[in-house]
Amino acid sequence: MFSYIGSVYNSLTKISLILLYFLILAGGVVRCTGSGMGCPDWPKCFGMYIPPTNVSQLPENYKKSFVEGRVEKNKRLSKVLSVIGLNETADQIINDPSIQEAEEFNAFKTWTEYINRLIGAIVGFSLLFIFVSSINIKPFNSKLFILSFLSLVLVFFQAWVGSIVVSTNLLPGLITFHVIVALAIIWNVILCYYLSTITTTNVKKSPLLSYAIIFSLFLFLIQMVLGTEVRESVDTFLKVFGFENRSEIIENLGSDFIIHRSFSLIILLLQIFITYLVFIKSKHTKEFKSITIVMLVLIVSEILVGAGMAYFEIPRELQPIHLLLAFMIVGLQFYIYLKNSNIKKVNSL
């Protein structure tokens, strides 16, 4: 029997997913506006719980004090990395000259980053509520309890990674890892939602469709990694050419950008094949067919947004949309994989 607590749990997972995607969008805005270092410290912002709106609210030596704090934090981090054998990364962090560069106060960037952190805190509380709800489900379900606890652990770990991203002044590679952790959180919450959603529909599993979905998911993960590497290259060139000379950036992106652009067509063709299997070669519910169509629309939209970024000199407005669409696609891919695989649900809720 589906209990009241179980329905609350299911609703909380949906709310958390919406909040997570809001956080992805906010993170994209932070990235495209160059606001990642809008708050030079963490978890506070310029040493305050509510950041300043004017540089006059900061002490005269604020640049020096925050740089010194960042350097000390990175020294401790490099020692830990050396202990676990990541000597090259440790040396890169210590010897990165940008770590010594002080950030000028910019109210817009500060509050853009601060709002991003606030949304992150709200996400953290929503996942805490999911965990508490999992404890109260009767009868107790260990699977949902463990997965809910894992979401909570991952979001705290993500917050810590975010603090390292700030202290290392947006170190390349670390941002990619930040994206991977975010994806792990989204997948885990989607799994919690799926397992707590009761359905009486018993659709025969299609092995070919399962393989196609898994392959599509694998290819899109590669595409996301390539996209992150392209974005890091864009960040590097922005420091050289500046925000006003974006046309020169596209010309210098190299092979990663070409592969990333071409790879999208393979993913589109595979999704068309998946749509064919769902509508012609297998018997699925209207919900499943609708999700498949949405997937196709999202992939086409992602390609069009990517083309707009390439041909219109990487407009800032399109960058957060490009990132959000990517996470929506990979989330839906995981969900339709679960639906098609008929993974055992938690029918005792």
Evaluate if residue 1 carries a pLDDT over 50.
no
Residue 2 to residue 280: CA distance in whole angstroms: 34
Minimum mean pLDDT among 4-8, 149-153, 226-230, 261-265: which range? Answer: 4-8
Whether the Cβ atoms of residue 194 and residue 267 lie closer than 8 Å to each other? no
> Phi/psi of residue 48, each to 5°?
-125, 150
For all residues of the chain together, what is the average pLDDT? 83
pLDDT digits (tens, 9 = 90+) for 149-202: 999 999 989 888 877 776 776 666 777 788 889 999 999 999 999 988 866 455
Evaluate if residue 119 carries a pLDDT over 90.
yes
Evaluate if residue 24 carries a pLDDT over 50.
yes
Q: How far is CA 28 from the centre of its chain?
A: 9
Domain boundaries, the chain: 1-197, 202-349
Say what the pLDDT of residue 2 is: 46
Residue, of 314 and 23, whose pLDDT is higher: 23
pLDDT digits (tens, 9 = 90+) for 55-111: 888 888 888 777 777 777 778 778 877 887 777 777 877 777 777 777 788 899 999
Residue, of 253 and 124, whose pLDDT is higher: 124
Residue, of 153 and 34, whose pLDDT is higher: 153
Question: In sequence order, which residues have a C-beta less than 8 Å from that of residue 342 and are 6 or more positions away?
Answer: 202, 203, 205
Alpha carbons within 13 A on the beta-carbon side of 61: 4
Residue 245 to residue 251: CA distance in whole angstroms: 11
Residue 16 to residue 130: CA distance in whole angstroms: 8
3-state secondary structure 210-273: HHHHHHHHHHHHHHHHHHHHHHHHHHHHHHHHCCCCHHHHHHCCCHHHHHHHHHHHHHHHHHHH
Return the CA Rg of the chain: 22
Q: Is the dihedral of CA 311, 313, 319, 323 positive or negative?
A: positive
Percent of the chain scoring above 70 in pLDDT: 86
Say what the pLDDT of residue 84 is: 77
Q: What is the mean pLDDT of residues 24-52?
A: 85
Evaluate if residue 347 carries a pLDDT over 50.
no
Evaluate if residue 348 carries a pLDDT over 50.
no
Q: Which two tokens stand for residue 27?
A: 């993170």
> Phi/psi of residue 49, each to 5°?
-75, -30
